[in-house]
Structure 1
Amino acid sequence: MSSHQDLNPQELKLKGFKAYAVDTAAGPSHDYRRRDFYKVALVTSPCTVHYADRSLPISGPSLMFANPHIPYAIELHDPRLTGYSCLFTEAFMKENDRSESLQQSPLFKVGGTPVFHLDGAQAAYAEGIFQKILAEQRTEYLYKGDLIRTYLQLLIHEALRMQPTESFVQHKNASSRITALFLELLERLFPVESPGQAMPLKTAQDFAQQLGVHVNHLNRAVKEVTGKPTTAHIAERVITEAKALLHHTSWSTAEIAYSLGFEYPTYFNNFFKKHTSTTPLAFRRDAERVAEA
């Protein structure tokens, strides 16, 4: 099985999709852990998929559907993770105006069951489709996007015909799991790559809503596990990114303020000074002097 190391995230952004074989024995699986695109995966190694308030163990071949709006984490039970995966944007799947079918699928259904266990015949069928997708994306066929969408639809409808797995288990330590997913969701907002890219999540309430838990529940869990409130984690990460942008870009403080979710530059200045005891401009000047020394 080939590795997925040749996955180029920029290529996905240009074409709207990217398929690859997964084999962590051939290298690190950073791309497999990407959470910013929709995903259909054939998982053939034992693992557990963790969500904010539940976990789903996978012991055999399974189809997994992931939505970028639903944070999750994968715990491996074997050093080697194998299978296939296809990442794609929502725009790619909606190009043929099949949104009605997708809205009813486990891929788009918030609160649904996103993992389907396969028997031998179903696993062979799914693997055959992934192999066709892998082969098709390497061709110069003008309409290969349409063909790949059709293959993805076959995987989606194969899952719709099956009963979803219901073996969810509650976490023995839900606070730890919620905290881990909160921190992952927070980290996913960075780095900020454009001054026109504003942070979509700014408050504890924003994060709680994205995780599907009450804000008080999130705050209690994070404080219990880390000893610090949710707002402190958010502030620390924003300050870290602000310092990086001041040091490594030529963006104005107003542009940095906007990209980090501040409505006005003065709010950003006050926030930065509160947490660093200096102003953004003073920090930038000091960083430039150190670089020139």
Structure 2
Amino acid sequence: MSEQLETLSDFYRERSYIQFPFSTTDIGKGISHFNVNARKYCNFKTPYNRRDFYKITLILGVGELNYNGHTTLVDRPALLIPCPSVPYSWNSISAEQDGYYCLFNQEFFNEHYQFDIFKRSPLFKAWSEPVIFLDDKLLALVKIYFEQMLEMAHGDYTFKYEAIRNLLCLLMHALLVDKPAASLSSGEVSASSRLLRGFDELLHQQFPLDSPENPLTMRSAADFARALNVHVNHLNYVIKSTTGNTTTSIIKSRILEEAKTLLLNTQWDISEVGYCLGFEEPAHFNNFFKKSTGTTPLHYRQSTRIAHI
């Protein structure tokens, strides 16, 4: 395992003794992945790392979360919704640890438009609060969603993947209804956090794209720096020091996410998809996509659609 990044492969390798409802092989190959399990099988101590996957954990038990260098005592029912790019570790204090967790990769998050609203929400953001303490009402609702996801995952319903995706959406909607955006943000917001939040909001406000006639207007770090009224070097420093990623890589990653979504969910020509994403020439879009994924946009569209039939 890298000292800085835990991958899905790392996660499953460290838990090879645990049975998961969905396959833990054939991951990291650009295909959608989701899993869910009871937390009684969790590790009592996890390394301080960033992750390359999303994870939502219902914590029933006492422990300490070290998140980006700040320690939080979790001594009552809570949901942990960390930003994958922010390093964190968990250290159990009580012997009894219960609850549930689910994890999924970026492809699962990109697969359907229904997740776009959450990309624009405070959830999974580097500037938002990763721990949400639950009252009795919200705890009961969250437990129901997890129990239904786990039951569905172990069942043989043909469309269980779609049903689980809807349950996950309901879970996240419940958090946003119960905890408005303001309460999901840290109490003391630094200038760096405000800048990161401003960048994130500007980036995600551009999506989803609804027409080739309305292409992206901000595609570079300089574009966002101008909109935020800061020097591009300062923006780059804040984002790199906070997330571990460069401004350019975050922008390119979001453009790639949208490219995959448009290729799978629209009938637009490949050139129209590229133009909408700000590529004046189809060859430039093809080169960008192939360099990022190892395949061409056309092959990705054809092969992925066949896989979903």
TM-score by length of 1: 0.50
Q: Secondary structure at the match of 1:10?
A: coil
Q: Which runs of 5+ in 2 are unaligned?
A: 1-16, 189-235, 245-309
**Could you give the per-residue CA deviations for residues 141-185 of structure 1, whole angstroms, max 9, x where no partner exists?**
23222211111111111111233467889xxxxxxxxxxxxxxxx
Change (3 A) 1:43 1:155: same
CA distance in 1, matches of 2:135, 2:169: 20
Q: Which residue of 2 aligns with 1:94?
A: 110
**Could you give the per-residue CA deviations for residues 18-74 of structure 1, whole angstroms, max 9, x where no partner exists?**
00001148x87779x993310111111111211223222211111111232121111
Counterpart contact for 1:41–1:64, Cα < 8 Å: yes
2:74 to 49, 52, 58: 58
1:42 to 58, 64, 82: 58
CA distance in 1, matches of 2:27, 2:138: 28
CA distance in 2, matches of 1:162, 1:10: 36
Q: Which residue of 2 aligns with 1:18?
A: 35
Q: Which runs of 5+ in 1 are unaligned?
A: 170-205, 215-293
Displacement after TM superposition at 1:10 (Å): 2.1
Q: Which residue of 2 aligns with 1:212?
A: 242
Q: Secondary structure at the match of 1:23?
A: helix
| Paired amino acid for 2:18 | Q
Q: Which residue of 2 aligns with 1:73?
A: 89
1:5 to 12, 18, 24: 18
Displacement after TM superposition at 1:98 (Å): 2.6
Percent of residue pairs identical: 25
| Paired amino acid for 1:22 | R
CA distance in 1, matches of 2:68, 2:125: 16
1:121 and 2:137 aligned: yes
Change (3 A) 1:140 1:18: same
| Paired amino acid for 1:16 | H
CA distance in 1, matches of 2:50, 2:39: 13
**Could you give the per-residue CA deviations for residues 96-135 of structure 1, whole angstroms, max 9, x where no partner exists?**
2134311233433221112211111211111111010001
**Could you give the per-residue CA deviations for residues 189-220 of structure 1, whole angstroms, max 9, x where no partner exists?**
xxxxxxxxxxxxxxxxx999655189xxxxxx
Q: Secondary structure at the match of 1:142?
A: coil
TM-score by length of 2: 0.48
Aligned Cα root-mean-square deviation (Å): 3.4
Equivalences, count: 173
CA distance in 2, matches of 1:160, 1:78: 29
